[in-house]
Chain A
Amino acid sequence: MQSKRLIPILAAAVLIALLYLGLSFTQQHQAPGVRIIDLKVEKGKLNLNPPIIKVVQGDNVTLQIWSDESGEFHIHGYDIMVQLQSGKTSTLTFRADKAGTFDVELHTSEGEIALGSLQVTPP
């Protein structure tokens, strides 16, 4: 009786383990490196659709941000910011060492505008 139940359990465990291994190999691993991203902020919107800045954990990221509005470009969680000037390109450089999704906002004299998010995935 015991062995009758043991066999399907073992078979299932082996199958599931193989499935996990097999599927995890299909995952494309991206090596971290240098990533330069051009961004545009127009009328309070980021020129990305969906508005997600995607990078890999460990990347050395440089954001080159052109804006039609002056204000403070701020990434929550990383708590880094750069001052944007209307009609000019500003640069924000950082190492994406924390994985996760982080809010990106523009703080202007009129208030906060949600621009989108920074998504840092593990390599």
Chain B
Amino acid sequence: MRIRTKLEIGTLIVFVAALIIGLVLFFTSSRVNRATEEGKITLDIVQKASELGTLTFNHFNNLNERTELEWHSKNTMLAKMLASEFTGEQSQVIIRNLRQNQKELEPLFLKLNKIIKEENTTNHTSLSVNDPSQILVNNNLQLKLQNILNEAFKLTALSQSDISATERTASAFIFISIAVLGLFVTIGSFLVRKSIVEPIAQLDDGTKKVGQGNLHFQINISAEDEIGELAKAFNTMTLKLNGFYENLEDKVRQRSEEILEKNILFQSLVDNIPIGVALMKAPKGEILIMNQAGVKLLGRSLDLEDITKDQYTQKYTFQKEDGTSYPNQELPPSITLEQGEIVTKDDIVVCKPDESKISLRTTSAPVKNAQGRLASVVTIFEDITARKEIEKMKNQFLSFAAHQLRTPLGSIHWNLEMLLKGEMGKLLAPVEERLDQINQCNQRMIGFVNELLEVSLIQQGKWVDQALLTDIVPIIQDAVKGVELDTKSQNISITIIPTRFTIPKIIVDPKRFREVILNLLSNAIKYNRLNGKVTIEFKLLDKKLQIMVTDTGMGIPLNDQSKIFSEFFRAKNAILAETEGTGVGLFMIKSYIERWGGKIFLESEEGKYTTYYLEFQLP
């Protein structure tokens, strides 16, 4: 049965019960009322009977007309009272007796009245006890009155007991009604509890259990009402959920296994690659994990506890190649932790606990979390000791060779100079021409050797730089003038774009800065097209001065752009266009600029243009 129907039936039952109880109470109260009413009448009857007695006595003493009239009126009232309907059988018997007596009262009174009036006309006395007929009538009258009074008392008593009985019955009825109502309410609430509250509690309990993860739980409600339907739906849902869950668990298990498998693969990959890999936690740089190669390289046992405890800078000793200690803030992981950029350095020497030293090439890259914040830094490092050793030998050889080459080249130069000046006698024109050719070749050779030497010095870091706050404008203007001659053959124009701001001074070595500009201009002219343009622009960035040198030349192929600043590298199209050139110019420029704390990079499109961007921090 539906809850709604149940509630409707329940309400109906309570209503009917209340109605019955109401009716019973109503009838009970009307019985009480009637009994009370009857009681009142009996009391009146008693009063009237006694009044009649009194009036009779008064009248016969005084033979007063007024008392006679009053007596008749009271007697009539008594007759009316006796006409009232009394319910009880005993009462009706008494009433009959009373009526009988009352009927006989009237003639007795009249008879006595007549006798007394007759006597009065003769004796002028009032009541006389001597007349035997009078005495008889009087006695009868007295007797009847007495009877009426007695019967009235009896009726009163009866009425009183009737009232009490009725009241008792009424109390009993009220008590029973309340008890019945209470019973109904109890049964009703019991039914509500059984059919609504308990199932709801069961449902509640079930949801809690399922909520706690017991997906096997089923609610045991068989009722055919809404709660029953809800319970069925709930059970179906739980079953389905359980199905999903078990399916999900299977999937999770499967995935976990896959992940574990991949993890093992990944771990073996990380551990077996021959370069060190470490993950450091931002912002301080504690080592989170390091692969075996890394541990071996840095000379520490694979004791994670030991590795991860401190920041990496407290764990290892890093030096520069000249043996001085490496400033912590300049190490790649520190820079990445600070700036979030990828940094590579290959001039770091790590001192192992056994005091041996190895050179490292170290690259650090940021690892960002979902919010884009730096979470950690991944650092890879490889042993480049052997490479460094070879590099060192190469550089030593380079400077030795350069010095040794310069010596004969210099003396050839001077000998040729003397010859060409005619100091050894006048030369024949063809001889002079040949000697001049030899001299030019020799000069080229000297230039090349000088460049070699410069490169090796730069690579060994054995160069002294005199960087100071410099006004670069005159240097640039001077450099532009210096290359004027070279622009002629291809009719190339060089423009310095005027600025709205005063170009600030920057910290550079003036002599080398001139070389930088000369070199860039020389490239911009050499690899330009006929009637090409070269522009020099300045821009103020945030705390930086940017210088842009742009040409309208052949550009640099995309593949070569990353290598263009390497020593001895020349772009493919440049080699084709111009066989001369050693490919050290841009390497030197980059080295100089970086020494001054600046930056150089380029933007180029093959066949269209190349722009070199030079950036210098403002002091």
Physical interaction between A and B: no
